[in-house]
Amino acid sequence: MVRTSAAGVLAVFVGLSVSAQEARPTFEVASVKAQPQESSADGLAAAIAQAPYMRLDGNRFKAANMTAARLILETHGRDYVHRDQIQGGPDWLDQERFQIEAVAPAVESSRAGSAVPDSVRGMLRNLVDTRFSLRVSHEMRELPVYTLVRARKDGQLGAGLRASKEDCTTTVDARPGEPGFRNECLPRVRIDGIKLVGRPMDELVRFLMGRLGRLVIDETGLTGTFDVELSYEVPKTLAGNSRAAVAEFSAGIFTGVQEDLGLRLESKPRPIPVLVIQHIERPSPN
């Protein structure tokens, strides 16, 4: 029988840990900077300029207008999509914004503004962990969520939700004037609804999460791309963001989702994966 000393086991463990760290994908060159907030100019152009985004042009990665919370969600996989799934952390997690520019080795996007592939997201996660000194623990916690289900027993959808002949999934990160941009693929978002062309259900789910302020889980079983036309009543006043106004706003969305889309939002608690922040620091200037 071969005996292994405690020191030998420790050496093997340390060696595996070092190898695992060395195997993590990294950017060749990366810059992380605090991004000053622009003046609150009006208009669509200003709103687009201040919207958070990530893109890959060739092997050059850029992210802008990103909070630390958004970066954490973007780098921890598809199970983490809502701010409620990050627990703990300082106030600046949602208040301060950052810009990242980096070079991804051995990665070439097919066109300017391509969606960021998982391999580059792995590099971004390593960068965020390192530059923000981030440490998190993974837990399951019961959180209130909305499940999105079909409203009708026969599964029939509403007139505002149709299987699409278009596929606009490749234009998600393209902006006006850039290669690959298609005007018909641009989401039409209003305070009282949304119009989508050639988008997967994920896009509708993200919109609903943003409007309702709660995690939405798609349980419709719908796959492929869809054209969506959703409208709903908006309270005459949202002044002060009162609880009554918020409840009325949500009720209008519930009604619109059922009448226009043939779907239903159900409120229920669910065990959800969360990231608990143990430690995080502002990145040092570079």
Same domain, 112 and 159: no
Residue 211 lies in a domain: yes
pLDDT tops 70 at residue 42: no
DSSP bridge pairs for 193: 190, 231
Residue 232 lies in a domain: yes
Same domain, 175 and 96: no
State residue 235's pLDDT score: 83
For 211, the domain range is 142-271
Residue 34: which residues within 8 A CB-CB, separation 6 or more? 96, 97, 98, 99, 282, 283, 285
Same domain, 129 and 148: no
**Tens-place pLDDT, residues 145-197:** 999 999 999 999 999 999 999 888 866 555 555 555 677 888 899 989 999 99
**Tens-place pLDDT, residues 9-20:** 334 433 443 344
Q: How far is CA 32 from the centre of its chain?
A: 20
Cβ of 100: how many Cβ atoms within 10 Å?
A: 22
User: From residue 229, how far is each of 188, 193, 201, 213, 266 by CA, in Å?
Assistant: 9, 8, 13, 21, 20
